[in-house]
């Protein structure tokens, strides 16, 4: 698979409309509804015995878990952490993963005149301060299972800017997966188009042009309970 990831950093400058329209477009009643629709539209037989399912967010881990169960495939979780602008803690300028791969929002970095030294220093700091403690908490400090030569399916409950998704794709390619596919219920049209180039295939139910945010398209979108997250991680460790 060709690797176009060198060309994807610019698309992460996408910013959705932050104002929720009064004529809200409801696509899913809740997460369970979105999951069932996603499952019913996935070519499950396409993924063979060498498939690994990967979750990349706490919000989407239930989707990844259910999909792994359906495929009877191993489930892994890739930890990520945002890199924030030095003078604006609300602004994500890059996303790093536990494999030390990073995807940078180049337009923002150039606009704020942020050095690459700062970004790569933050990658190491985020790994030590945030990701490593989570790896010990949820994976008992164990390394990721091997993706080499495997058909990897990355799953999330939706995509916003694409920073997390693209960083995960980059990590999976670094870890020598045979193929990389991505599945989610909803994603911005602009970002989805680039994801199709960056992967072997994107399975996405809806691709709104005037994207707002993931929760906007769910009628019921409560926070994921930590008990459920911990339960799924305990099942991953028990497999």
Per residue in 102-153, pLDDT tens? Answer: 999 999 999 999 999 999 999 999 999 999 999 999 999 999 999 999 999 9
- Name the residue ranges covered by the structural domains of the chain: 5-238
pLDDT of res. 233: 93
In terms of pTM, does the model score above 0.75? yes
pLDDT of res. 5: 53
From the list 58, 193, 80, the residue with the least C-alpha distance to 126 is 80
Decide which of 3.90.1170.40, 3.40.50.2020, 3.10.20.30, 3.10.105.10 is the CATH code for 5-238: 3.40.50.2020
Long-range contacts of 224-228 (CB under 8 A, 24+ apart): 224/58, 224/59, 224/61, 224/62, 228/62
């Amino acid at each position: 698979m060709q690797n176009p990831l060198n060309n994807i950093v610019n698309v992460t400058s996408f910013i959705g409309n932050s104002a929720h329209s009064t004529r809200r477009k409801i696509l899913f009643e809740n997460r369970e509804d979105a999951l069932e629709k996603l499952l019913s539209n996935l070519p499950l037989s396409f993924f063979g015995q060498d498939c690994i399912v990967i979750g990349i967010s706490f919000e989407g881990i239930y989707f990844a878990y259910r999909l792994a169960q359906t495929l009877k495939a191993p489930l892994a979780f890739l930890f990520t952490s945002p890199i924030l602008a030095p003078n604006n803690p609300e602004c994500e300028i890059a996303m790093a993963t536990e494999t030390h791969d990073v995807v940078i929002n180049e337009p923002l970095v150039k606009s704020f005149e942020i050095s690459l030294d700062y970004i790569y220093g933050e990658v190491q700091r985020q790994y030590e301060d945030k990701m490593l403690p989570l790896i010990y908490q949820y994976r008992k400090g164990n390394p990721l299972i091997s993706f080499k030569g495997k058909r990897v399916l990355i799953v999330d409950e939706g995509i916003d800017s694409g920073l997390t998704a693209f960083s995960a794709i980059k990590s999976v390619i670094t870890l020598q997966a045979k193929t990389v596919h991505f599945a989610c219920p909803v994603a911005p049209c602009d970002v989805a188009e680039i994801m199709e180039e960056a992967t072997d295939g994107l399975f996405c139910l809806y691709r709104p042009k005037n994207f707002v945010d993931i929760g906007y398209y769910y009628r019921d979108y409560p926070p994921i309970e930590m008990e459920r997250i911990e339960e799924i991680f305990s099942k991953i460790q028990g497999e």
